[in-house]
Chain A
């Protein structure tokens, strides 16, 4: 599925020696790949930005008992970042996300079921050493 990002086409932040520098080409970005590439670390750096950036909403396993679909329905114009998506998102919520025209999504997980996405939506994380810092960027998967 190709659709332009609603909230932002670029996000960057710095957390001590880590840099997150993401370019978004779709409204739904699925961040997948091997374990230990820095996906959850990047999530935590983005979540830190929620303190000063009202355009970002972050959801992970700590929201396990909450009604995620209801949480999403309250938001407008946000970049919604979901870690642990494979256990948090049921089929109904996935369909809601695929039809949501009010928000943009960065979904960290491996199962694209019911998100109606294509290879255009699938990305993995690449890290690069820059002096003493490590930069994380998105790269098309496969």
Chain B
């Protein structure tokens, strides 16, 4: 399950935080993509990877550079391929959020609640505790609870 931080101060010192998901993906994640990325790209962007650096546009089928993936899809791939880093999740649409919450591992940050309706179990981490939450309302309450 993914780990969620709501305060940058709670991110452990040995975990780097990334806010610009587009830039990080284009410079780092793209070189690590393997077969696991296909399902993510198809599910979120309804596109196909057709090579290491190429994708097919869902709009007109033309071949595009892989930097044309949506920011939401790039964010999910960043989290998946770099589980020891924390990524900003604010630019994920609902379709990307559903996939993000279902990842086996990884870490994300937002200072306000961003929760898909069909949420999976997540781990939340703040200065007081690390705990597991499976309920939408409970997660929302944790997020909105001022420390």
Which residues of A approach B to under 8 Å, CB–CB?
Answer: 17-18, 33-38, 40-41, 61, 64, 84, 86-87, 109-111, 113, 127, 132-134
Contact = CB atoms under 8 A, between A and B. Distances in A.
A133 B59 CA distance: 9
B93 A35 contact: yes
A28 B58 CA distance: 29
A113 B47 CA distance: 32
Nearest to A35: B72
B59 A113 contact: no
A36 B58 contact: yes
Contacts of A38: 59
B121 to A, nearest CB: 22
Contacts of A133: 60
A125 to B, nearest CB: 11
A134 B58 CA distance: 11
Contacts of A111: 90, 112
A134 to B, nearest CB: 4
Contacts of B60: 17, 132-134
A86 B91 contact: yes
